[in-house]
Amino acid sequence: EECDVRAVVNDKVYRIQCKVRKNIAKWMLPNTDAVDIQVIKQDRGEPLVVQPLSAWLDDKRDEL
């Protein structure tokens, strides 16, 4: 139920959940002119990586 998209790249399976919001908090959006990824974390939570989908797909294309 939580997996919206299943992608296979070089035999690695990615289970992807999509979240869509009208607005995302500005502090969560990476300044892609200055950084490639942004790491966000809640108190006592696991760090998460935020990056544009196009950049992630470009990285995966390099693996093909």
pLDDT tens-digit readout, 23-53: 999 999 999 999 999 999 999 999 999 999 8
Residue 61 sits at φ, ψ, to 5 deg, of: -60, -35
Tokens of 3: 């997996």
pTM greater than 0.85:
no
Alpha helix positions (H), 1-64: 53-63
What pLDDT was estimated at residue 64? 61
Q: Quick one: 53 exposed, middle or buried, by C-beta within 10 A (0-12, 13-18, 19+)?
A: exposed
Tokens of 29: 């959006």
Secondary structure (3-state) at 45? coil
* Distance (Å, whole) CA 12 – CA 25: 31
